[in-house]
Structure 1
Amino acid sequence: MPRSTLAACAAAAILASGPAAAQKPDVGGPEVELQTSAGPIQVKTVAEGLARPWGMDFLPDGRVLVTERPGRLRIVGPDGSLSEPVQGTPEVFSQGQGGLLDVRVHPDFAETGWVYLTFAEPGEGGTASTAVARGKLEGETLTDVEVIFRQEPKVDGGNHFGSRMVFTPDGKLFVGLGERFKFQPAQDLSNHLGTVVRLNADGSVPDDNPFVGRQDAKPEIWSYGHRNIQGGALNPETGEPWFHEHGPRGGDEINIPEAGKNYGWPVVSWGRHYSGDPIPDPPTRPEFADAVFQWTPVIAASGMDFYTGDRFADWQGDLLVGGLVSRSVVRLDVNAREVTEAERLPIGERVRDVQTGPQGDVWVLTDEDNGKLLRLTPAATGQ
């Protein structure tokens, strides 16, 4: 489709934060049917009226935590019922692309009660940076809330906060961060801009992080040279975290971040500058790690999950990626580190997040002023 140069990074376009009214979103909605490689599937609107929803995760009892970028956290019941905004969430910088972003339930939530949030944290003089907070969910309130990580430094501007979180089987928390649209700092280990950081669950630094002990590097950094990470998922076969990031004019990437490696931004890229000026491709510089997959033109990737359910048997192990520009869920075949695009499921709205549900269905968040929580199921069952 035709795009301006800025629209090529539409997932990173500066959007209004959406309505701040406190009323509950409407519940329920029509069903539509899509034809896919897995046969016909139904798309049901579970909830709507959400203000720019950004992230979601499932509680053990099947309820869904959903963030709204203006700063609210909602709890959605399996039947579509919605809570009032959860109390105790941190103050957010709700400007441009900033606000309340990702949410993750601790893998041992039944014992710990911990819920993790990423958000744009306001600083002095209108500055901001991405931060990670955790709190214990008690009813519809977060208690014992603490910020366990702050991206340094805080800078001005409302772009490229990232961010997605992935827990790995060894209890570590990986967080993908944007470079705040500042370009060159993504090559500087003395800051967290454009990095993947690896933390213990309490925010402390693992002793075996690759830059621990270096005076010129932040010890939290796992990998660097990233642009604006907006998707993350755990590969269930390998236990590795996978992340994707927005390219500029072309070159959305899927990466498997490895300890200490440099992924090249802004020195190399599969895309071009918004001006149209070329950027060298990653293979021309062997010191940089390359992506396992890239889109040009971009889909403006946001949200990602490996499909692990059994309701779509042919999708087992595939990667599902939300597309803001493509207005679709993109399914990719994964064979070890070989990734190929298989099909696009046309949702018709900007897709901000996608996850496998507890019953093997696929859940989707749309990034709109009237944002929706959708559930995709095989048409044969419709449940």
Structure 2
Amino acid sequence: MPSTYSYIRSYWISFKWSTRVAAVCLLLAAGLGQPGTALAQTPPNTPIITTPAFDGQVVSPFDVHMETAVFSDPDPGDTHFCSDWEIWTVTPSERVWSATCLTGVEKVHTHFGDGTFEGSRAGQTSLAFSTDHILRVRHRDQTSLYSNWAQRAFTTGDQTQVFPLQLDDVTSAPTPTWMDESASPIVLSPGSPAPSLRIDSGAGDLLLQFSGLDGATNTITNPAMLGSDVAARVVINGGSGGLVLPASRLGFQERLGFSRIVYLPPVSVAASGQVYFWVSANGSTYSGNASQTAPDFSTLARGSPVPWEVLQPGFEVEIVATGFQLPVNIAFVPNPGPNPTDPFYYVSELYGKIKVVAKNGVVSDYATGLLNFDPGGQFPGSGEQGLGGIAVDAASGDIFCGMLYDSAPPNGPHYPKVVRFHSVDGGHTVSTQTTILAMVGEDMGASHYISNVSFGPDGKLYVHLGDGFTTSTALDLDSFRGKVLRMNLDGSAPSDNPFYNAGDGINARDYVYAYGLRNPFGGTWRAADNSHYEVENGP
């Protein structure tokens, strides 16, 4: 049996532990009963998405600005540890880009380069054009608790859309620069008021300013960061003496570390006058005016440099017009009018439009909806079909264009045809269109279809046709495919064509000028000897 001492020792130990447990329970109960002393952690509040700014906003598929308001958490003292970002397509529902647990400034403002494209966009660097998307973001605190997902619906723009350069700040280091094309600094003269160049918003929110000081240097004003992104605008003020400036480049770094260059045209500004330019995402500038508060990209002032190098001295390549979707061919007006608004050249777009570019650079629609089928499909791939070559008749100003048509809409075989367009308003818009030759039975689809159209020195129309991926047609004189055709402007076959024979009826061989071709997509005439050159796409 245990001794009396053992009983006493056991009782004391039990009493000590039960007392401690009771004390702890009392402390917990007391704590739970007091306001502001809850021990359970609460997740952060759902983020507020500030960019894109509203549901349905159309944004650039190449650079979606993703931004939230500052972190918010019900628990005092909790901090923002990181954020998860996702972009999903709506139809089909698929995650196409994500970034997990971003820290630093990217917790509240991020770009594609901070994450990874996945799913159907794996390996890409942009989203698909003209597609509905959902942006999702959630915040995480330092205790590893996540907020609910916030989301914003947005749509990517189409291939022709120009997007503004969006900025909220220009960094002081590296120092912003303003140079001419020889890399010499642009120095403004002094004045009262001094001439200046400023980058601001349509509402006048200043991002950066160069002002004349002493004729040897400029004063650079770089204010604090704006509260949100704005569309960048350049305003040049002539000051008291006016300004004449060469073509120039503004260079700076934005808050997120991206280097930007803005390309400005030569300008002449009267004393006390101002000129305005809207800036696109690639640094191109577009003419604006004082009344505009939102970007207007209708008139290009100066395009950003093209991504190639001119090797032959005396030549320069620059962007003179933008806003085209899959341009296929270009045709200059042989004798353009004297006015700035007169048509200068025409551009055929693959998916059923012809656009006219005036002498002042303004681009507008000449003809639209020219296809009777939906050309949509993978590009490159099944989507490579529609309009082809284009040519302008010097005598009438009429436009001739080659294209495919659906012989039994909406799902019939596609055949080639040549269409003549006539205008009654000086070539600005089409009035009537006439099919001058339809090549029934000549199946064509993506690529290897009807292409180059030109006028020869003999005044005849020359039309190139690919083999339609049926190689045997190229040597078959009874097929239009794989040939260069020669025809009159009404679509009839000239009697002096190499294989013309009216005795057996008019058919494909009566139109053949050259044959044995695979995909003669390009072509032109050499003035020195009136020779016709054709360019083969592919091997």
Category of TM-score, reference length = shorter chain: 0.5 to 0.7
Matched, 1:187 2:468: no
Identify the residue that residue 128 of structure 1 maps to in structure 2: 414
Identify the residue that residue 78 of structure 1 maps to in structure 2: 359
Matched, 1:238 2:526: no
The within-5 A match list for 1:112-151 is 112-124=396-408, 125-139=411-425, 140-151=428-439
**Max Rg structure:** 2
Letter of the 2:431 counterpart: T
Deviation per CA, 1:253-303: give whole Å up to 9, x if none: xxxxxxxxxxxxxxxxxxxxxxxxxxxxxxxxxxxxxxxxxxxxxxxxxxx
Matched, 1:100 2:387: yes
CA distance 1:198–1:85, shift in 2 (3 Å): closer
Deviation per CA, 1:56-104: give whole Å up to 9, x if none: 1122236221111111111112332111353584646625321122111
Shift of 1:188: 1.3
- Runs of at least 5 residues in structure 1 that lack an aligned partner in the other structure: 1-16, 251-383
Conservation of the 8 A alpha-carbon contact between 1:57 and 1:66: yes
Shift of 1:138: 2.9
Deviation per CA, 1:194-224: give whole Å up to 9, x if none: 1111101211110111222274853111121
Aligned equivalents of 1:207, 1:35: Cα separation in 2? 45
Q: Could you tell me which of 310, 313, 316 is aligned with 1:38?
A: 313
Aligned equivalents of 1:127, 1:93: Cα separation in 2? 13
Aligned equivalents of 1:88, 1:157: Cα separation in 2? 18
Q: Secondary structure at the match of 1:163?
A: strand
Conservation of the 8 A alpha-carbon contact between 1:71 and 1:92: no
- Runs of at least 5 residues in structure 2 that lack an aligned partner in the other structure: 1-127, 131-156, 163-296, 338-342, 377-382
Conservation of the 8 A alpha-carbon contact between 1:92 and 1:100: no
Identify the residue that residue 344 of structure 1 maps to in structure 2: none
Aligned equivalents of 1:131, 1:119: Cα separation in 2? 6
Shift of 1:35: 4.5
Aligned equivalents of 2:387, 2:310: Cα separation in 1? 34
CA distance 1:18–1:162, shift in 2 (3 Å): farther
Matched, 1:228 2:481: no
Matched, 1:51 2:342: no
Size of the aligned set, in residue pairs, is 228
Aligned equivalents of 1:117, 1:67: Cα separation in 2? 8
Conservation of the 8 A alpha-carbon contact between 2:521 and 2:536: yes
Aligned equivalents of 1:183, 1:65: Cα separation in 2? 32
RMSD: 2.9
Q: Secondary structure at the match of 1:229?
A: coil
Identify the residue that residue 486 of structure 2 maps to in structure 1: 198
Shift of 1:164: 0.4
**Could you say which structure has the greater relative contact order, defined with CA pairs below 8 angstroms and 6 or more residues apart?**
1
Aligned equivalents of 2:129, 2:348: Cα separation in 1? 13
Conservation of the 8 A alpha-carbon contact between 1:93 and 1:121: no
Matched, 1:173 2:454: no
Conservation of the 8 A alpha-carbon contact between 1:152 and 1:191: no
CA distance 1:164–1:157, shift in 2 (3 Å): closer
Identify the residue that residue 283 of structure 1 maps to in structure 2: none
Letter of the 2:515 counterpart: Y
| TM-score, with length taken from structure 2 | 0.39
Identify the residue that residue 10 of structure 1 maps to in structure 2: none
Conservation of the 8 A alpha-carbon contact between 2:371 and 2:404: no
Aligned equivalents of 2:370, 2:445: Cα separation in 1? 23
Q: Secondary structure at the match of 1:46?
A: coil
The within-5 A match list for 1:1-383 is 26=297, 27-28=299-300, 29-31=303-305, 34-39=309-314, 41-59=315-333, 60-61=336-337, 63-86=344-367, 89=370, 91=372, 94-95=375-376, 96-108=383-395, 112-124=396-408, 125-139=411-425, 140-155=428-443, 157-213=445-501, 215=504, 218-247=509-538, 250=539
Q: Secondary structure at the match of 1:80?
A: coil
Shift of 1:156: 5.6
